[in-house]
Chain A
Amino acid sequence: MQIGFYFDQTRCTGCYTCVVACKDWHDVPAGPASWMRVTTVEKGKCPDLFVAFLPAACYHCLEPACVDACPVNAITKQKEDGIVTVDRDVCLGRDECQSCLEACPYNAPQFRSEDNAKMEKCDLCIERWADGKKPVCVDACPMLALDAGPIEELRAKYGDNREAEGFIYSEKLIPSITFKPKKDTKGLAVQRIEIAPGSRTVS
């Protein structure tokens, strides 16, 4: 069984509640490590615009690049639910190695600012499932734009759509995600892309 995410891009308002809820729940301080990050895509020229948001944490891929890339096997994919986790005691630390981050096209691996910070990332709120709860980002979203659960069930319920604005599906890694994308029917040109937190702008 593989747990994954559903994201309804047509409902997302770019409010960052998921980002902050995640940091609060997992006690991640403000700083370069953000388990959840939101990409803002701006297309078109005033006044014909298209704007979409894409929150992304970790897609717990079926064939995760990070697992293969890690030289010390600190990252494992759980057999029972497919959640990809890191053992911080085994991780070499950011100053020694960033192979996982270099391998992941979705920037899921994160490092804090302290010396040789160990890798951390979305763990799909492992401990909440045992309490019968969904990941905190899902419960936090004020627009019901997120869901999580067995990916086959999500695809049966919401459809199997692996495209969304700001997202590139990897056939090789097979991320556990299905979307209701926001569609740019006019095919407008991208003008600005921003990822926050971190305010990484890719214009």
Chain B
Amino acid sequence: MDSQKRGRADDQVRTIPTSCTPDCGGKCLLKVHVKNGVIVRTESYEGEDLHLRPCARGRASRQRVHAPDRLKFPMKRVGARGEGKFERISWDEALDTVARELKRVKATYGPSAILYIGQSGSFGLLHGRTAAERLLYLFGGCTNHWGMISCEGPAFASAVTYGFFTTGNTPDDFLNSRMIILWGWNPVEAQRATAPFLKRARDAGARIVCVDPRFNCSASLLADQWVPIRPGTDAAMLIAMAYVIITEGLQDQAFINTYTVGFDRYKDYVLGDEDGIAKTPAWAEAITGVPAAAIAGLARDYARMKPAALVAGWGPGRTAYGEQYHRASAVLAAITGNVGIHGGYPGIVGSLGYMPAQPTLPVPWGCCVMPLGDNPAAHRALPTPFNSWYYSDSGIHHCKVADAILRGKAGGYHTDLKLAYVTCANPVNQYPDSNKMAKALRELEFIVVHELFMTATARFADILLPVNTGFERNDICDSWLLSPPYYIYVNKAVDTAYECKSDLEICGELAAKLGIPDYNEKTEDEWLREAFRSIEAIQDYDYDDLKRKGILEVELPEYVPYKEQIEDPKNNPFTTPSGKIEIYSQGLADLNNPKLPPIPKYFEGWEKPLIEKYPLQLFSAHSLTHAKSQFHNTPWLREVEPHTLWINPIDAQPRGISDGASAKVFNDRGQILITARVTERIMPGVIFMADGAWFNPDENGVDRGGCHNVLTSDEISPGSAFTCNSSLAQVERA
């Protein structure tokens, strides 16, 4: 009845092409129907480029934009930090307070006492975290942080092995693969743009194997074989696969001789000549839980079914010594000759796909067309030459922000932090050790947060500023990593809600109060036209045409990284010191760190001594109903995928935990109460919680929201990988 009435063509409804721009692994084309200033329903791209179709999150956009719990006006804290008690104030009072505090802290302690936390909350070419970054740099600088939560481990390993941070064949190239190994890579749920290409490859006959502690939706759609493996042990399995390949003479020796250095040193380690331990499949079975025969079988298949794509995802590398897993996967790709060829893959999911082939903006992917400038308070202190260029001017690793706040100079950090400015980020929820972060934020003198909702981090603000969504402003976004290249015009669909402002507007007004003259001289439209003109691939097209259609797809040939290096090595050396693929890295050897060896090695995680007290390994991964912590409060998404603890019956039954029962998950860092999902889709000894659920501690400090970071550690790996997937925990019936 109702739908029939709504269905009739309505002159008052405008259809506007746009997109949502979260950190979701895709960029889709939405066509929102707007009536009387409200998005009333959503349609989308209906063609067969499936990566342009939105997911459940995109379809739920209007429920997010028009959510009743949107922050509506600026607020100042009246309760204790973290309580979430605020009272409404005017924008003038809010920004006067922020300006006053910024000036006070800078004058009293210096600019490095100001900590900037900005992440991936919004990915447009104009709007996002850069607004506040630029402001703080112009103000005199701040302490930024470094290390990519997503991929510091693989960036490090790729830089060591191949000489560049990023790498990866374009997804259309999977059609050329005879075999594809999805190692800790879950494109169906975490990088949707690639999933249709893999399905096509499978339908064309590729053999697909999923190596993952969990039988996820990628395994369900694609896998011929599921290999469950204990988190943090992946390097051991890859090294044992090298053992099989080498002892059975399956390596591509001609490739090794021509394009690599250090194979013999690696062979010594693998065969046991270096340390007396032969890295056999049986050796790896005891560590990984994967049967020796399965390890050997996978090694033989991978070496023989060429070209084969070993796509080593980022999740397994977010572990203690995770960079060794990425090194071992890259080296396995190299010794089988699967690098630089169609259907192969360099062994690390690098993202990149089209990026090298795609003429880029003057600033790196995902960043702002607005120039950032230099950070006058930069503290250049990356621990190795191989750590990523992202935020390389800062002194504190993302994981160590809470520790740096708590310990400061006395703890060896370069500064004492006094003020935090947070935009596009939710560190209490998304950085390791939520309870420690909460404790740290309580120590600061002042905290300002830009937010859409009352998130865990918002509750700690002294001044909380409401921002608008991507639907309330204009932007352009580029396509995701690992997807074909296109640009979407993110058209403003509705006016900015309540008293909200964009991050850019807020920072512009703050700049005026801080006496900064040149913060932003252009209008939104001027910036976007400038961005458009600066992109070589599209600058000859019509800007207004892009705005009207919403999308501009770019024709580029499929890309195979290192193709030139393989086809013409003399004229195209790898950008490594040796000019070759470095199985052995002299650069690493020169660091003299036994835990950063020059060849890939397996090291046992440092939590292992706790295994009797906390016998279960916890890991997390992205879900299709969240983008990091965004969308958690969207009702349509909460009801399709309620947040649960995945636990195998072998672990659940002795604990008296039945499917749907309440369970307590805990370790020394905190406690969580959560509903159990008893399922065979998680291997015994391992438990799983999706990333992004909102931290919600009760009066006893027990988290009722199911935030896995209550249990994760802020220890970082020697190569600076995050180690959130190396947590041990215990589970009891609640």
- Give residues in A with beta carbon < 8 Å to B: 11-17, 19-21, 23-27, 29-31, 34, 38, 42, 44-47, 49, 51-53, 87-89, 123, 125-128, 130-131, 136, 139-144, 191-192, 196-199, 201, 203
Contacts and interface: CB of A to CB of B under 8 A. Distances in A.
Contacts of A17: 53-56, 59
A26 B636 CA distance: 13
Contact of A19 (B42, B46, B56, B660): B56
A52 B221 CA distance: 9
A143 B640 contact: no
A38 B217 CA distance: 14
Given A16-B625, A44-B680, A126 B59 contact: no
B722 interface: no
7 contacts: A24-B60, A24-B636, A30-B638, A31-B639, A42-B681, A89-B1, A139-B43
A125 B625 CA distance: 25
B217 A45 contact: no
Shortest beta-carbon contacts, A-B, top 4: A127-B7, A30-B635, A16-B640, A197-B639
Interface in B682-696: 682-684
Nearest to B28: A142
B681 A51 contact: yes
A192 B679 contact: yes
Interface string B177-221: 000000000001100100110010000000000000001010111
Given A17-B55, A191-B679, A199-B642, 20 more contacts: A13-B221, A15-B217, A16-B640, A20-B640, A21-B59, A24-B59, A25-B42, A29-B635, A30-B639, A49-B680, A51-B219, A51-B681, A52-B220, A125-B3, A127-B6, A143-B221, A144-B50, A197-B640, A198-B639, A203-B678
Contacts of B59: 17, 20-21, 24, 140
A127 B8 contact: yes
A34 B42 CA distance: 17
B42 A21 contact: yes
Contact of B680 (A11, A15, A191): A191
Contact of B228 (A47, A126, A130, A143): A47
B637 interface: yes
Contact of B50 (A44, A127, A143, A199): A143
B44 interface: yes
Contacts of A24: 41-42, 59-60, 62-63, 636
Size bracket, chain B contacts:
35 or more
Nearest to B220: A51
B220 A46 contact: no
A140 B60 contact: no
Interface string B613-651: 000000000001100000000011111111000001000
Contacts of A201: 659-660
Residue of B7, B54, B226, B648 most packed against chain A (CB within 10 A): B7
Residue of A24, A87, A130 most packed against chain B (CB within 10 A): A24
Contact of B226 (A16, A47, A192): A47
A26 B3 contact: yes
B188 A13 contact: yes
Contacts of A47: 215, 226-228, 683
B151 to A, nearest CB: 24
B48 interface: yes
B410 interface: no
A30 B7 contact: no
B9 interface: yes
Given A20-B637, A47-B228, A142 B42 contact: no
